Amino acid sequence: QVQLVQSGAEVRKPGASVNVSCKASGYTFTGNFVHWVRQAPGQGLEWVGWINPHSGGTKYAQKFQGRVTMTRDTSIRTAYMELTSLRSDDTAFYYCARVQKGYWHFDLWGRGTLVTVSS
Amino acid sequence: EIVLTQSPGTLSLSPGDRATLSCRASQSVSNTYLAWYQQKPGQTPRVLIYGASNRATGIPDRFSGSGSGTDFTLTISRLEPEDFAVYYCQRYGSSLSLTFGGGTKVEIK
């Protein structure tokens, strides 16, 4: 089955870090870029960045530069997103999504990981 | 950085009505990289339109996309009860970055 399975919900204190995983199945993991998108409760979609699972190359939204790191482990078909120096306004659902080559739209989404930042 | 502005913020319509949603870019955007998504409460977004006017697999033909340059439109020809949701436009740019619009909520009048 073609899917992206994300890790479970996390609770962190301000200033801490969080690492969210996204395991791909049913397709060639290294064949499509994986993006991370977040959505605060009741808010819109916000792009965080992407990783090329084949090369490990990354691109991050300027807003998250210096705080986000995306990595992958091709042996277990899993992408990771680490976000550091967490603040309360980082509380959101974090989605991984596969981008379709050519048109660069998202055709497959994980179900999201809720990251709650609270003291 | 290119900003996508969606309007209106909320559209109040009745089933059977025609919905016209706008997505305006602060600079010209390639049609190839303009997409529209639907998101219902508690669900992940679903792609409706890619390449500005191509319907994604399984999307009913009452959904259509058009536009070029800085102005793009998503049209729902006749609203069905399941179409009441939030809609986002998205663009991928030459800087390899990606942007979403702020969304338009289509609600039942």
As given in the structure block, the two tokens for residue B8 are 């209106």
| Other C-beta atoms lying within 10 Å of the C-beta of residue B103 | 19
As given in the structure block, the two tokens for residue A111 are 């179900």
Indicate the residue type of B44.
Answer: T
Which residues of chain B are under the pLDDT cut of 70? none
Indicate the residue type of A42.
Answer: G
> What's the pLDDT tens digit per position in A24-79?
999 999 999 999 999 999 999 999 999 999 999 999 999 999 999 999 999 999 99
pLDDT at B49: 97
Q: Decide if pLDDT at A18 tops 80.
A: yes
Neighboring chain A residues of B33 at a CB cutoff of 8 Å: 103-105
Task: State how far the Cα of B81 lies from the Cα of B13, in Å rounded to an integer.
Answer: 11
pLDDT at B1: 81
pLDDT at B31: 87
Whether residue A103 and residue B37 make contact (CB cut-off 8 A), yes or no, is: no
Q: Which residues contact A71 (CB under 8 A, 6 or more apart)?
A: A51, A56, A79, A80, A82
pLDDT at B40: 97
Task: State how far the Cα of B61 lies from the Cα of A27, in Å rounded to an integer.
Answer: 28
Better-scored residue on pLDDT, B66 or A104: B66
Neighboring chain A residues of B101 at a CB cutoff of 8 Å: 44
Q: Using CB atoms within 10 A of its CB, is residue A34 exposed (0-12), middle (13-18) or buried (19+)?
A: buried
Whether residue B47 and residue A45 make contact (CB cut-off 8 A), yes or no, is: no
Cis omega (within 30 of 0) for bond into B81: no
Q: Evaluate whether A79 touches A71 at the Cβ level (below 8 Å).
A: yes
pLDDT at B50: 96
Mutate to test the interface with A, among B23, B31, B47 (most CBs of A within 10 A): B47
User: What band does A101 get if pLDDT is binned at 50, 70 and 90?
Assistant: confident
Mutate to test the interface with A, among B98, B99, B104 (most CBs of A within 10 A): B98
Q: Using CB atoms within 10 A of its CB, is residue B108 exposed (0-12), middle (13-18) or buried (19+)?
A: exposed
Task: Among B44, B90, B97, select the one facing A105 at the smallest CB separation.
Answer: B90
Q: A48 to chain B, minimum CA–CA distance in Å?
A: 9
Q: A44 to chain B, minimum CA–CA distance in Å?
A: 6
Task: Among A44, A110, A111, select the one facing B100 at the smallest CB separation.
Answer: A44
pLDDT at B96: 84
Q: A92 to chain B, minimum CA–CA distance in Å?
A: 13
